[in-house]
A and B are shown apart, each in its own frame.
Chain A
């Protein structure tokens, strides 16, 4: 997704309008009570409003205009925070709503038994319970998440995946899970419903992005506690200032005690409103980013855990390599012409529609310009691959051209009275050692040479693993290949380790072993036999094409069924935590400048000497306090885009990342308010408000 489209959707006018309304709805103190920082801010707003209104009728401790202006900006602080949350919610909900729409008003045919032809009655989709059996026929929508127990059908899943090509769903095997809201295009399916209403993936996803119902994630809870305690500390520091000020006035014999309005202004400036106001928005938009990546998490906890993962188990096929092996070179036997070898190999592969076979035809064309020929036209007889011969090829004009595994071809040539040259044997071994698959080509009793079939890595995967290593994440390749082949591919791809001839039990064992060493493990899986490993892994991403068992064992579902997505999920998790940490640091660092603005202003009358602390040289005490309060409110608005997008993420080691974020958000947070407050002060005095 490009930055341009993100920016557009961030400030989508329709979402903005809804968010503005949401900002006011969220003023409900029962709702705000869940956010201690903003709750205190709202209480302060109410209090100053009352003080201001009282001052209108009877002279109060401070001029009514001043108190009411402060009060207005305190309300603005709360509203800005609410707006951020509402905007984040809106973005997530917009997508969820469109999904929800897909399920509305669906009538399901509930069967009495598991047999397709058994009688049914029509029920509304929300009334379906776990265990119900429904019949879904061509053209109708699957009413809820479930598992196919009978039938095979093509299903349009574009509503959730965005992928327009229909997919096949059938009973048994690894493609038996169906998602509510998707549409059966052809044939029919008998589906056993696996979720109760409100528990479906879609429901969980919607719950993650709705502020009111959202469950806070563990780290967010911890941060909230810290923010609450910081609020208490500042509350104490500010409340005790009143007696301190009374004593100071008494001791100095001049000036007035500090006003409650000023104290409240100071309090709101000091408590971490920036992070407190944006915390919820950060959490929601983290989930939203995941949904945009077409991944549904069953809990926020899983997303946070993704940031902690330091071992990735990646399936070789589809993740590290393109699905298929491809021919990369011809290695002729002694005395054999390479072109003859290529020609024979191509002939043997003409009718071989496997990707490997196609790649041999293509390679021969590329290297020796041998055109593809029509098998029919040659009157050739195609000999397909079989498990017993372990060879394929053609019979053509009395020639028997074969390609296959070395031992199979050797047996074949020997049976025809030929011999198997040692040089060819050497080629076979070299290819095997390099991680490739050797295919020996023979024309009758004569061995022509070897075709080197090779696993082809996905573009850029090596660099990706290098980045992961820098981030401190080890990658382990899981493959069914033999150890020799696996080692070669692992070295080429640059993974840290590999598990060869992997079985589901070995995977499970490996995960447990890594976990006992203190690592957090992430993996992807789709088959039912992956389920135990998925359940054991800390972050388990099930493919949407996978079985229901796999989807239930995992804590995320990738709607695109793209195993490389795991890397993206880890990044989203890290970015979520980083955004929280960075804005907390920024928020706390801001306080230093606010002290320098408000303290001299509050005590200038009692101790004129304190004017020396006013290093910003602000126009007047009133303007100093207003500038600090206004800065405190506006900074929330300015940081909304950052909260929603997350801080920019780079694949760096922890030390470098920390240095970078500290510099931007720590040092930046320390100095930026000095500039900001001064600018607001200049503006206020320019328009004559100060």
Chain B
């Protein structure tokens, strides 16, 4: 860990918190139906939308109706994305004349974008027409993020309300999340990114003459290069803000036209965690105790910083086998040292490690470096962050609701130790809550383990694994962790655009999304019905450093106990073998 790495990490966290606070307060007002500064501009448009759609904004839903609306909405989104891919050759805005996407890949991508995973089995610029990118993928980037926020807001209402059946209107929460939060923020970010040189055009790929001809693998001279372009800035903005992560280009934010400068890198990096961090403040405001939101945010931030330190240190330490043969892997004034394989020289170790940590802490999945090329421990960090259930910031909305599920389980065990029926924010945690929380915690972990097991013993699964040994296993584990936890980040080094992986990962994404979202809505409904217990010196406080530490310990312990055996056979043994060989 160098001073450079520390300063860059510190600045990032500080900037993130400073920006998240006002946004969090704004969202609290928004979801409570109070007037916001954007009302004069967007209010009429919002009301028009409700009139057109025939939605009565004042009619609230109970949890089953809310969950039903979510499912129907996502199903329609899935069908739209699937059809657009299958029919893109017949539709306009396809200057490259790209053909229809295969059924299994279309299924995978449709699930992926509807569930806010944004796992990409395909290469964007060579597969998707501009229309598909914009109408199918970018639209889902917005609404899948909004859906996560809606479910979270419903859960917060469940905690804040007393003895009522309803938890809000799904349609209103969707419209407000998209119209008041995601659209304005994306607009600002997209314009900023364009100013930094991110491409935004409808023109087809450009062919340019190389200044210095190169030779290809067969030794033939190459004089021309095809540069993919397109309406990238608008999609990049929402892919970062909505913790989507599906890049416009295959190389994602390592691509110079998707992330050209240090400033664009910082802006994209802040955007990854901005809304998840702000929602913690929103939560505190809405439950009328800002300390509750701060303590959750603190638990997330401490974990983030810890993992950043771990990954950055592992990358900075580099590969001892290189040191053993005399390469200088130390840090110096004119060279970064450490492990630079798979990293953009302009980002270096700090920005790459920071991005890798942020993108896997949040369920973003965009990359600016190849995680597959990280050292074993450097790759372990991002992998574990996903396996923790995407609750360290996590997806917009989904991260915090996942964390609140952990808070409920933490309160249940720790609360017993103070000699009272456990309660969270005054709501008693009883059998039903524990059942729902357990399902939400179990489902993604189960899919990671079962999916990895299936992949390593079936021919369809093994066929996609290129790397030998423990690293091959790490890759499978990473990809299954990514899909099951709706992250979408890819380790690389594997061929996953096959019917086997498209179907398996699609299934993982579905389970990882809805087997959490629906139990969470059930929790919201059950909590809303309860009365609140008065708090006093005998109640287990959930705003103290002790609680922050406990919550952290619970998240890490559950993750470690579930995945330690698998990790031991992947990155851990890889690391041990690497150090032993050096």
Q: Which residues of A come within 8 Å of B, CB atoms? A: 218-219, 221-223, 225-226, 228-229, 232-234, 236-248, 251-252, 266, 270, 304-305, 307-308, 310, 469-474, 517-520, 573-575, 577-578, 580-582, 584-585, 588-589, 591-592, 595, 599, 603, 607, 609-610, 612-613, 649, 653-655, 657-659, 661-662, 665
On whether A221 and B449 interact (CB within 8 A), knowing A581-B413, A658-B417, the answer reads no
- Tell me the minimal C-beta distance from B216 to chain A in angstroms: 33
Q: Which of B549-573 contact A (CB under 8 A)?
A: 550, 557, 560-566, 568-569, 572-573
7 example contacts (A-B, Cβ-Cβ < 8 A) are as follows A237-B563, A240-B450, A244-B473, A247-B473, A310-B534, A519-B534, A613-B572
Contact residues in A for B473 (Cβ distance below 8 Å): 244, 247-248, 251
Are the CB atoms of A471 and B564 closer together than 8 Å?
Answer: no
Contact residues in B for A240 (Cβ distance below 8 Å): 449-450, 452-453, 566
Task: Report Cα–Cα, A589/B430, bound state, in Å.
Answer: 23
Question: Nearest 9 CB-CB pairs, A to B?
Answer: A472-B538, A581-B416, A574-B419, A229-B438, A518-B534, A472-B537, A609-B576, A581-B417, A247-B456
Are the CB atoms of B550 and A307 closer together than 8 Å?
Answer: no
Are the CB atoms of B431 and A307 closer together than 8 Å?
Answer: no
Task: Report Cα–Cα, A10/B502, bound state, in Å.
Answer: 61
User: Chain B interface: which size bin?
Assistant: 35 or more
Task: Report Cα–Cα, A589/B560, bound state, in Å.
Answer: 11
Contact residues in A for B450 (Cβ distance below 8 Å): 236, 240
Q: Is B544 an interface residue (CB 8 A)?
A: yes
Task: Report Cα–Cα, A100/B283, bound state, in Å.
Answer: 56
Are the CB atoms of B421 and A307 closer together than 8 Å?
Answer: yes
Extra contacts, 10 of them, besides A222-B430, A308-B533, A653-B537 (Cβ < 8 A), are A237-B449, A247-B456, A248-B470, A270-B561, A310-B536, A469-B537, A592-B560, A607-B576, A654-B538, A662-B550
Are the CB atoms of A226 and B453 closer together than 8 Å?
Answer: no
- The residue in chain B whose Cβ has the minimal distance to the Cβ of A612 is B576
On whether A658 and B546 interact (CB within 8 A), knowing A225-B438, A245-B569, the answer reads yes
Contact residues in A for B453 (Cβ distance below 8 Å): 239-240, 242-244
Are the CB atoms of A247 and B457 closer together than 8 Å?
Answer: yes
Q: Which residues of B come within 8 Å of A, CB atoms? A: 409, 412-422, 426, 429-431, 433-435, 438-439, 441-442, 445-446, 449-450, 452-454, 456-457, 462, 468-470, 472-473, 531-534, 536-541, 544, 546, 550, 557, 560-566, 568-569, 572-573, 576-577, 580
Contact residues in A for B431 (Cβ distance below 8 Å): 218, 221-222, 225
Are the CB atoms of A243 and B456 closer together than 8 Å?
Answer: yes
Contact of A599 among B414, B540, B564 (CB under 8 A): B564
Contact of B532 among A310, A518, A581, A649 (CB under 8 A): A518
Task: Report Cα–Cα, A239/B457, bound state, in Å.
Answer: 13
- The residue in chain B whose Cβ has the minimal distance to the Cβ of A217 is B421
Are the CB atoms of B569 and A518 closer together than 8 Å?
Answer: no
Task: Report Cα–Cα, A49/B183, bound state, in Å.
Answer: 63
Are the CB atoms of A603 and B563 closer together than 8 Å?
Answer: no
Contact residues in A for B462 (Cβ distance below 8 Å): 247
On whether A659 and B546 interact (CB within 8 A), knowing A471-B538, A654-B539, the answer reads yes
Task: Report Cα–Cα, A599/B560, bound state, in Å.
Answer: 13
Are the CB atoms of B561 and A591 closer together than 8 Å?
Answer: yes
- The residue in chain B whose Cβ has the minimal distance to the Cβ of A589 is B557
Are the CB atoms of A219 and B416 closer together than 8 Å?
Answer: yes
- The residue in chain A whose Cβ has the minimal distance to the Cβ of B544 is A655
On whether A609 and B534 interact (CB within 8 A), knowing A241-B565, A307-B419, A659-B546, the answer reads no
Contact residues in A for B576 (Cβ distance below 8 Å): 607, 609-610, 612
- Tell me the minimal C-beta distance from A591 to chain B in angstroms: 5
Are the CB atoms of A580 and B416 closer together than 8 Å?
Answer: yes
Interface of B is mostly: helix
- Tell me the minimal C-beta distance from A536 to chain B in angstroms: 15
- Tell me the minimal C-beta distance from A400 to chain B in angstroms: 57
Contact of B419 among A223, A517, A575, A613 (CB under 8 A): A575
Contact of B442 among A232, A305, A575 (CB under 8 A): A232
Are the CB atoms of A610 and B573 closer together than 8 Å?
Answer: yes
On whether A229 and B441 interact (CB within 8 A), knowing A244-B569, A247-B456, A655-B544, the answer reads yes
- The residue in chain B whose Cβ has the minimal distance to the Cβ of A229 is B438
Contact residues in A for B580 (Cβ distance below 8 Å): 609
- Tell me the minimal C-beta distance from A216 to chain B in angstroms: 10
Task: Report Cα–Cα, A251/B474, bound state, in Å.
Answer: 12
Task: Report Cα–Cα, A221/B468, bound state, in Å.
Answer: 47
Task: Report Cα–Cα, A455/B345, bound state, in Å.
Answer: 85
Are the CB atoms of B445 and A233 closer together than 8 Å?
Answer: yes
Task: Report Cα–Cα, A222/B446, bound state, in Å.
Answer: 21
- Tell me the minimal C-beta distance from B162 to chain A in angstroms: 9
Contact residues in A for B442 (Cβ distance below 8 Å): 229, 232-233
Task: Report Cα–Cα, A291/B389, bound state, in Å.
Answer: 45
Contact residues in A for B419 (Cβ distance below 8 Å): 307, 573-575, 577-578, 649, 657
Are the CB atoms of A520 and B533 closer together than 8 Å?
Answer: yes
Contact residues in B for A310 (Cβ distance below 8 Å): 534, 536, 538
Are the CB atoms of A581 and B414 closer together than 8 Å?
Answer: yes
Are the CB atoms of B421 and A657 closer together than 8 Å?
Answer: no
Are the CB atoms of B417 and A244 closer together than 8 Å?
Answer: no
Task: Report Cα–Cα, A118/B455, bound state, in Å.
Answer: 86
Contact residues in B for A519 (Cβ distance below 8 Å): 533-534
On whether A585 and B561 interact (CB within 8 A), knowing A225-B435, A246-B457, A654-B539, the answer reads no
Are the CB atoms of A251 and B417 closer together than 8 Å?
Answer: no
Are the CB atoms of B426 and A518 closer together than 8 Å?
Answer: yes
Are the CB atoms of A473 and B569 closer together than 8 Å?
Answer: no
Task: Report Cα–Cα, A192/B441, bound state, in Å.
Answer: 56
Are the CB atoms of A577 and B421 closer together than 8 Å?
Answer: yes
Task: Report Cα–Cα, A247/B472, bound state, in Å.
Answer: 10
Are the CB atoms of B426 and A584 closer together than 8 Å?
Answer: no
Task: Report Cα–Cα, A580/B417, bound state, in Å.
Answer: 8
Are the CB atoms of A226 and B434 closer together than 8 Å?
Answer: yes
- Tell me the minimal C-beta distance from A575 to chain B in angstroms: 7
Are the CB atoms of B568 and A471 closer together than 8 Å?
Answer: no
Are the CB atoms of B417 and A578 closer together than 8 Å?
Answer: yes
- The residue in chain B whose Cβ has the minimal distance to the Cβ of A585 is B413
Task: Report Cα–Cα, A653/B434, bound state, in Å.
Answer: 25
Contact residues in A for B469 (Cβ distance below 8 Å): 251-252
Contact residues in A for B416 (Cβ distance below 8 Å): 219, 223, 577-578, 580-582, 584
Are the CB atoms of A236 and B418 closer together than 8 Å?
Answer: no
Contact residues in A for B433 (Cβ distance below 8 Å): 222
- Tell me the minimal C-beta distance from B420 to chain A in angstroms: 5
Scoring A266, A473, A474, A518 by chain B CB atoms within 10 A of each residue's CB, the highest score goes to A518
- Tell me the minimal C-beta distance from B552 to chain A in angstroms: 13
Are the CB atoms of B445 and A236 closer together than 8 Å?
Answer: yes
Scoring A222, A308, A599 by chain B CB atoms within 10 A of each residue's CB, the highest score goes to A222
Are the CB atoms of B430 and A218 closer together than 8 Å?
Answer: yes
Are the CB atoms of A517 and B534 closer together than 8 Å?
Answer: yes
Are the CB atoms of B449 and A236 closer together than 8 Å?
Answer: yes
Are the CB atoms of A613 and B568 closer together than 8 Å?
Answer: yes
Contact of B417 among A218, A573, A582, A591 (CB under 8 A): A582
- Tell me the minimal C-beta distance from A585 to chain B in angstroms: 6
Task: Report Cα–Cα, A229/B408, bound state, in Å.
Answer: 15
- Tell me the minimal C-beta distance from A569 to chain B in angstroms: 13
Task: Report Cα–Cα, A349/B563, bound state, in Å.
Answer: 82
On whether A662 and B414 interact (CB within 8 A), knowing A247-B457, A591-B561, A655-B544, the answer reads yes
Are the CB atoms of B573 and A238 closer together than 8 Å?
Answer: no
Contact residues in B for A304 (Cβ distance below 8 Å): 421
Task: Report Cα–Cα, A337/B439, bound state, in Å.
Answer: 83
Contact residues in A for B537 (Cβ distance below 8 Å): 469-472, 653-654
On whether A222 and B445 interact (CB within 8 A), knowing A237-B562, A237-B565, the answer reads no
- Tell me the minimal C-beta distance from B354 to chain A in angstroms: 29
Contact residues in A for B438 (Cβ distance below 8 Å): 225-226, 228-229
- Tell me the minimal C-beta distance from A645 to chain B in angstroms: 15
Contact residues in A for B468 (Cβ distance below 8 Å): 251
Are the CB atoms of A654 and B533 closer together than 8 Å?
Answer: no
- The residue in chain A whose Cβ has the minimal distance to the Cβ of B429 is A222
Are the CB atoms of A243 and B531 closer together than 8 Å?
Answer: no
- The residue in chain B whose Cβ has the minimal distance to the Cβ of A607 is B573
Task: Report Cα–Cα, A613/B469, bound state, in Å.
Answer: 19
